[in-house]
Structure 1
Amino acid sequence: MTLPMNFSNWLLAIAPVIVLVTGILLFKWEAAKIGAFSWFVAVFISYVFFGTDFKMLALANAKGLQLSIYVLLIIWGAVFLYNIADEAGAIKVIGKNMTMITRNKSIMVLLLAWCFTSMLQGITGFGIPVAVVAPIMAIMGFEPVSAVAICLIGHSWAISFGSMGSSYNSIQLVTGIPGEVIGPWMAIIFSVGILATGFGVAHIYGGWPEVRKSAPQIISAGLVMSFVQWLMNIIGTAQLASLMAAAAGTLVLILWAIWGRKQIKSNVPRAEGEVDKMSFNLAFAPYYTLVGVSILTQIKFIKTKLSSLYWALDYPATKTSFGYLVEAVKDYSKIVIFSHPAPILLISTVVGYFLYWRLDLVDFSSLKRAAKSTVDRCIPTSVGIATMVMMALIMSDSGMTQIIAQGVAAVFGGYFPLVSPFIGALGSFIMGSNTNSNVMFGVLQTNTAKVIGKSGVLMAAAQSVGGSLGVAITPSTIMTGAANVNLGGRENEIMKITIKYCLLNVALVGIFVYILSFFVMI
């Protein structure tokens, strides 16, 4: 690359990101609006200062749209499935059954804020886990501000592999690192995040006495959750990693609750109310289907047969007038029809709707409401993600991201692994989601790793893990939680709690990644 790395070029390269940050934080623009404007800035700068032409820009935008489709299909499918279950009353039944597992409040707070929120994150997202669980905790007697903060911290470990793996898919798509390579390393790094968030939940609830009291439950459940999340990646079902890890943690805590019923005096009143129209198993039926079909598609014989059905595009090599080369790529952002999460989500939705319909829990009007709610929630997100992904691809293919990486490497050098997760967390805070953070900074992480001679896989994994933990301080998620427990206008109180734990959790991950960086060279 002949374009020199100096301060003026570095400022030009990072200008679209600065515009994006300024628009969100200072002008409070919505993601769709600021995403489109930042995209325009990237187009202008890359054309005028970085030697791209119309063909290069068209190809970069096409790549961006194709990447967006891959992720957005997952998001739309996950939200629609959740809305169908919610229309049937299944989410309320699942939540009620969770509250009836134990009357020990110490275990209950871990079950709800650490595990149940993460199970919901595994199947949906968009702040829904906090919106669902925080009101339940408030009704049970938990202080509302603490209830929202506990849920935000508690589920922040589950974001990357949640929403059927939308953030996990985004980091591998923008960096080009295969899921089977980056996924297990993400799970290993997340082991620190899982334990840290568990202890964070306990500390918010009852301070150091509660941490000491709950340590056996947190350590045992956290280790099992970490192993299950890693195992899901090893067997090729990363999209289930958050859901299954949270379910495993729930089982461990249930065992603790059963063992402790005679030892610990109950201090949570039993919930009273109307008889449910369905059992827990029926309420959870579409998610059982989701797990079953996902595992089925990973059986070697079936996976081989289905892998021939896919959609992808080929892109030629491009070069800027300054000589920055982007290699040709074949089958870019391949969507394998029957192993991509979207068709599996659709199958699960159809099964769930049919079962609920048989019991008169849903009808055609329910289907229309679920569809409308999905469109209303996903359209702004889709526009924001699409424009930001296109912006990121323009910056990557024009060499702008490489210039930024060289500048970052010059400042931090070998200590960059300590900072890497904070970049992910900052991206989530600014962009409002782990997915957007990965799109924005994923290539920056791998490029910087290359410059300083560290593992690109490790830095990309740290990016997504940091971005996941950073969701605990995203304004949109905090506002969603606050609104559902009548705390509108008190979001700053929630932020004051979550930011301390978020920064500590990310710092612990950074230290772990820094240690790993001396041994991991892939």
Structure 2
Amino acid sequence: MTFTPDFTAVGDHLLLSAAVALIPIIYFFWALAVKRMKGYLAGLSTLGIALVIAVIAFKMPVGMAVMSATQGAVYGILPIGWIIITSVFLYKLTVKTGQFDIIRNSVLSITEDRRLQALLVAFSFGAFLEGAAGFGAPVAISAALLVGLGFSPLYAAGICLLANTAPVAFGAIGIPIIAVEGPTGIPAMEISKMVGRQLPFLSVFIPFYLVVIMAGFKKAFEIMPAILVSGISFAVTQFLTSNFMGPELPDILSALVSLLALTIFLKFWKPKTIFRFSAEQEMAASVAENQATMPVTFSGGQIFKAWSPFLVLTGFISIWGIPTIKSALTGHYEGTNVILKGVNSIGHLFTLMPEVPGLSNKIINASGEATPAFYKLELLGAAGTAILLSAIVTKFIVQISWTQWVITFGETLNELKYPIITIASVVGFAYVTNASGMSTTLGMTLAKTGSLFPFFSPFLGWLGVFITGSDTSANLLFGNLQKITATSVGMDPLLAVAANSSGGVTGKMISPQSIAVACAAVGLAGKESDLFRFTIKHSIFLVILIGILTFLQNGILSWMIP
């Protein structure tokens, strides 16, 4: 028995079908924003509702619906959950051995101002990790660093999710843009150019917006020189690299330039007042007095040793992200299910891709072809494995015993059990939504907006990333639909495909996966609703900005299209 998704399954009507397909999404919004349900309960119940609707309303066979959920759940555990576990584990090793105290001191030696720390860690360092690893690593690691510096967990998670907006489209060595070339036929370099003429505007704005959220307009204007150095250096590099080098390096190079530029700038410029959160104000005077009488200084060697775990991490995930290395480690060409046999790849020995029983080659796509479905288990090639190797090297750097190393890993697993359930359930929900045709139904409905489609085009990417948690997945899901719709309404297809990716980045901060990852990293498991309420308004505001920009680029700013 096979299943062909019917995008007008409810009453043979697209709008009615879309209204029904929206039910799980609306429920999830309600569960987190209104009911303030714990993340894993919201995720599991949303998955249950999606399964019921897929079976009853969209006529998907029960077995296929359940197996698509298991496929998503497995993907939620590996690679996504594995990244979170290893990232938090590495951070805990530095805390347990006292090395993070030195890291904190080294950052404070650059600046004690919380606004500037957020720019350095959440915006610049987080963007570097996004470019090198992607998935949940940037938010998990940078948020944990901010908590270690003294940020409240909610603010640390929210700020890092917001800061992660700027680099997502070029994340993981440009995979979101490289991947969409396949279904659309538009060269990745051209898409890179167009995205590079949209996101730099957001990249200039995000540092300012981030500080406004933290401290208000007045406090943001106090450090405007630093904000401009951070944002403009990032945006200019992002434009130049995306337009003249391609989609692989914009994040990594932009982040490094921004980080270096701001660090050097802060050697010569200081804010008039040091900003701390209100809870810290009462302690500020006594802390300053203690530091004045008993200054804590560390040698360059001590600082280098303390940062070494994260330097090792950077090295490993950068190597893991190189396409040829990744192909060797995973045993297959990126974006395909073709296993590489022979001496050129050891990855096939550590890559398991069993077919999903009852689902593989049972769903017929729009081209009339059966779609294969695999449990994709990349044991060696997963970014989490690179982070685990960093933790093994770190064991020798910080000189912790194997017993304590193992105990710390066990503590990490115990702390993250509920967040992993959350991640597995929401990715399962995404897979059910895609396999049943609900996602495409929603996309086709947005595509009916006619002359206003240039404005709503980014919302399609926003919706895709909210559902799937990935800009890459959203591009694969809606990229070709964007191209076809744009052609029918007289919009440049290149602009529409780029808008899908640019709009998608603003949905990352409210994606259930991202929310679960951020909460897990800062110890807020069960508080996902609070973080969702923090990010939702900013996500909607930013996607509206991208919609306006795209609408203008389709009209009076059409000269910006390559």
Worse-matched range after superposition: 49-58 or 200-209: 200-209
Kept in 2, the 8 Å contact 1:94–1:280? The answer is yes
Which residue of the partner structure matches residue 440 of structure 2? 402
Distance in 2, Cα, partners of 1:509 & 1:35: 29
Equivalent residue, structure 2, for 1:467 = 507
Distance 1:280 1:235, change over 3 A: farther
Query: C-alpha deviations, 1:296-320, integer Å up to 9, x for none?
Result: 4566775565443243345643358
Q: Distance in 2 between matches of 1:464 and 1:447?
A: 15
What is the identity, as a one-letter code, of the residue corresponding to 2:162? S
Q: How many residues align?
A: 485
The aligned runs of 1:181-330 (5 Å cut-off) are 181=188, 184=192, 189-201=198-210, 203=212, 204=215, 207=218, 209-210=221-222, 213-214=225-226, 216-223=228-235, 226=238, 234=246, 236=248, 241=251, 245-260=254-269, 273-276=295-298, 279-297=302-320, 302=325, 305-306=328-329, 307=331, 308=340, 309-310=347-348, 311=351, 312-314=353-355, 316-319=360-363, 327-329=369-371
Number of the residue aligned with 1:365: 404
Pairs within 5 Å for 1:426-445 = 436=469, 445=478
**CA shift digits 1:202-256 (9 cap, x unpaired):** 5545537436544642454333663698599958579xx47x6444322101221
Report SS of the residue matched to 1:279: helix
Alignment of 1:393 with 2:416, yes or no, is no
Residue 460 of structure 1 deviates from its aligned partner by 4.0
Distance 1:337 1:136, change over 3 A: closer
Deviation string, structure 1 residues 35-90 (Cα, Å, up to 9, x no partner): 22222222222222322224532542343234323322222222222222232233
1:415 to 435, 447, 452: 452
Residue from 343, 353, 371 that aligns with 2:395? 353
The yes-or-no answer on 1:112 pairing with 2:117 is yes
The one-letter code matched in structure 1 to 2:117 is: L
State the one-letter code of the partner of 2:24. P
For 2:474 and 2:106, locate their aligned partners in 1 and report how far apart those are by CA, in whole Å: 40
Corresponding position of 1:507: 544
Matching residue of 2:485: 452
1:53 aligns with 2:61: yes
Aligned counterparts of 1:75 and 1:169: Cα–Cα separation in 2 = 20
Compared CA separation, residues 102 and 20, structure 1 to 2 (3 A): closer
| Aligned residue type for 1:157 | A
Deviation at 1:275, TM superposition (A): 4.9
| 1-structure distance, mates of 2:244, 2:309 | 19
User: For the residues of structure 2 that align with 1:391 and 1:77, how far apart are their CA atoms?
Assistant: 24
Please tell me whether the aligned partners of residues 61 and 390 of structure 1 are also in contact (alpha carbons under 8 angstroms): yes
Distance 1:436 1:406 in 2: 20
Which structure 2 residues correspond to residues 371-390 of structure 1 after superposition, within 5 A? 371-377=410-416, 379-390=417-428
Q: Contact 1:427/1:441 (CA < 8 Å) preserved in 2?
A: yes
| 1:66-122 deviation per Cα after TM superposition (whole angstroms, max 9, x unaligned) | 43233222222222222222322333322321121257xxxx555301121242683
Q: 1:75 to 1:150 in 2, by over 3 A?
A: closer
Closer, same or farther: CA 356–299 of 1 in aligned 2, 3 Å? same
Q: CA deviation at 1:344?
A: 1.2
Cα drift, residue 372 of structure 1: 1.3
- AA aligned to 2:261 is V
Q: Which amino acid aligns with 2:403?
A: F
- TM-score, normalised via structure 2 length: 0.67
- Unpaired runs of 5+ residues, structure 2, are 1-5, 130-135, 276-287, 332-339, 341-346, 487-492
How far the C-alpha of 1:8 sits from its partner, in A, is 3.2
Instruction: Say which is worse superposed, 381-390 or 416-425, in terms of deviation.
Output: 416-425
1:41 equivalenced with 2:49 (yes/no): yes
Q: Judging changes above 3 Å, is the alpha-carbon distance between structure 1 residues 515 and 83 closer, same or farther for their aligned structure 2 residues? A: farther
% identical aligned pairs? 18
The residue type paired with residue 45 of structure 2 is: F
Letter aligned with residue 158 of structure 1: N
Contact 1:236–1:298 (CA<8 Å) still a contact in 2?
Answer: no
Q: Which runs of 5+ in 1 are unaligned?
A: 139-143
Query: 2 CA distance for matches of 1:77 and 1:48?
Result: 39
| 3-state SS of paired residue (2:433) | helix
Shift of 1:356: 0.5
**Equivalent-residue separation in structure 1 for 2:539 and 2:105 (angstroms):** 29
Residue type matched to 2:482 in 1? A
Structure 2 equivalent of residue 141 of structure 1: none
RMSD, matched Cα: 5.1
- Residue 467 of structure 1 deviates from its aligned partner by 1.9
Distance, in Å, in 2 between the alignment partners of 1:171 and 1:16 is: 28
TM-score w.r.t. length of structure 1? 0.71
1:511 is aligned with what amino acid?
I
Kept in 2: contact 1:388–1:439 (CA 8 A): no
Structure 1 pair 177–342 and aligned structure 2 pair: CA distance change class (3 A): farther
Q: For residues 370 and 337 of structure 1, do their structure 2 counterparts lie closer, same or farther at Cα, with a shift above 3 Å needed?
A: closer
Relative to structure 1, the CA distance from residue 175 to residue 9 in structure 2 (aligned partners, 3 Å threshold; closer, same or farther) is farther
Counterpart contact for 2:457–2:547, Cα < 8 Å: yes
Q: Cα distance 1:450–1:425, how it changes in 2: closer, same or farther (>3 A)?
A: closer
